[in-house]
Amino acid sequence: MKQSRQDDIIQDRMRPGVITRDGLLGSDRRSLRDILEADEAEVRRLGLSHAVIAARLRALRDAGAQGLGEPVTVFDHFEVRVDSVRGLLPCPFPHEGLCRKEFVDVRNLRSGERVTYTEMNIHMIEAHGFYEGTGSPFRQEPAALARVLEIPCPAAD
Ligand SMILES: [Zn+2]
């Protein structure tokens, strides 16, 4: 699909200093529409959906929130630390509602690999299929999320 006028407006809000200091696009020079379509294809290739990925991120976040800022081991072998800071962020996509400023750090104790994501990541993946641009501090690679967080692939059953 071709980048729309609306996509341009959303992409402008993702630039550094608009919503977050570093912005959401990193060094990515692609259009927002191209970023969304590439990640959509990747998620499909993995046999996953944005909803399944977001649900896993949310479940780990909710379990880890019991630690009140300290690391806790959940789901047998995941160490999770949920760090909340004051403040709320608007989503760059057009709708009402704000995201908490919250960072979720997950370490897979079996593999030693870790990922860090935000409440905003969970929301943007779930609602918009957006994983941020390449080089963005909180860019999430769908394949890395699937591997590190051991997201069960429904297609593999
Ligand atoms: Zn949104």
- Predicted confidence (pLDDT) per residue in 87-109, tens digit: 999 999 999 889 999 999 999 99
Summary mean pLDDT of the chain: 95
Q: What is the pTM of this model?
A: 0.94
**What CA–CA distances, in Å, run from 32 to 52, 73, 82, 93?**
22, 36, 29, 11
Ligand 1 center to residue 131 CA distance, Å? 12
Q: What number is the average pLDDT over the span 97-126?
A: 96
Ligand 1 center to residue 98 CA distance, Å? 8
Confidence band for 152, pLDDT divided at 50, 70 and 90:
confident
Structure tokens at 142: 């769908």
pLDDT at 155 (0 to 100): 59
Answer whether 109's CB lies under 8 Å from 119's CB: no
Answer whether 31's CB lies under 8 Å from 11's CB: yes
pLDDT at 149 (0 to 100): 98
Concatenated DSSP letters of 24-40: S-TT--S-HHHHHHHHH
Confidence band for 153, pLDDT divided at 50, 70 and 90:
confident
Ligand 1 center to residue 76 CA distance, Å? 32
Is residue 55 exposed (0-12), middle (13-18) or buried (19+ Cβ within 10 Å)? middle
Ligand 1 center to residue 119 CA distance, Å? 11
